[in-house]
Amino acid sequence: MITILIILLIFIISVILYGVFIERNKLVIREITVDNIPENIILIGDLHIRKDIKLYEKVGKFVRDSKAKIVLNIGDTFENILDYNFLSYLDNKRTYFVFGNNDYGSKESGKREEKIKKILQRHKIKVLQNSNVKLGKNFYLIGIDDPHKNRENIEEAFKDIPNNSIKFVMCHSPEVNDEILKYKPDYLFFGHTHGGQVRFPLIGSLFNNVRHGKVPKIGITKKNSTVLIHTTGIGTTLFPIRLLNPPEIILLKRGTLPQLSDF
């Protein structure tokens, strides 16, 4: 009996060490082919940068060296507010950012938000807070402010967008209200959940930090006419561990949309 317990303990410790020191620093590039995009797009999220560790250098180099010029950063980039080296890798890209709950922080005095905006401005990163931008002929990018902090204003975000245009929506968390589907976005990108960070075979994740709404599957699914893309992101929160769920960058490539299951 004691031998079994010792073996079990060694197994658990080994799995934890693997999650903390190996898997957490692996980087996976998840390629998804989508239609209706003018060019390839990089999607990153939930960096939770604490210091410039090797993982962020890997992420930065991939982004910098990629031919894709548009980068969508769906929030929770900041922990301490520092002008991280990582952000310099984005300097030659057209990067768009939506705030996540962690970027706003717990006190929400507005000072943190302003500081972050200044840093982003230095790196020519455009912040979308319930607003939109035209990316190409008939092609709009909409940024919904963080629904985890109840900051979304969907009507404002979609203001002045012609009905027949292609609409890509960035939103930090899947907690955005289903009201958004009335605006028939073509694509809806979100993260926030980290895919639970620790995933178990057959069960998946135990905790997603989502207060309401159902969490769509990781990767690509659809709801009505909207394609949902849910990224597990790059960093960690609470515990510095990832299991069966490595950090990922999503590369959206022009192509044919795969057959999708309904969310």
Q: Which residues bind Fe ion (CB under 5 A)?
A: 76, 100-101, 192
Of 165 and 240, CB closest to Fe ion: 240
Residue 191 beta carbon to Fe ion: minimum distance, rounded to whole angstroms: 7
Residue 67 beta carbon to Fe ion: minimum distance, rounded to whole angstroms: 29
Residue 80 beta carbon to Fe ion: minimum distance, rounded to whole angstroms: 16
Residue 147 beta carbon to Fe ion: minimum distance, rounded to whole angstroms: 10
Of 208 and 221, CB closest to Fe ion: 208
Of 48 and 222, CB closest to Fe ion: 48
Sign of CA dihedral 47, 104, 229, 32: negative
Length of the chain: 263
Residue 100 beta carbon to Fe ion: minimum distance, rounded to whole angstroms: 4
Of 76 and 248, CB closest to Fe ion: 76
Residue 180 beta carbon to Fe ion: minimum distance, rounded to whole angstroms: 18
Of 93 and 194, CB closest to Fe ion: 194
Separation between Cα atoms, residue 160 and residue 165, nearest integer Å: 11
* Chain residue whose CB lies nearest Fe ion: 192
Separation between Cα atoms, residue 186 and residue 158, nearest integer Å: 13
Of 100 and 147, CB closest to Fe ion: 100
Please state whether 108 falls in left (phi above 0), alpha (psi between -120 and 50) or beta.
Answer: left
Which of 183, 94, 204 has the alpha carbon at shortest distance from 130? 183
Of 193 and 226, CB closest to Fe ion: 193
Residue 192 beta carbon to Fe ion: minimum distance, rounded to whole angstroms: 4
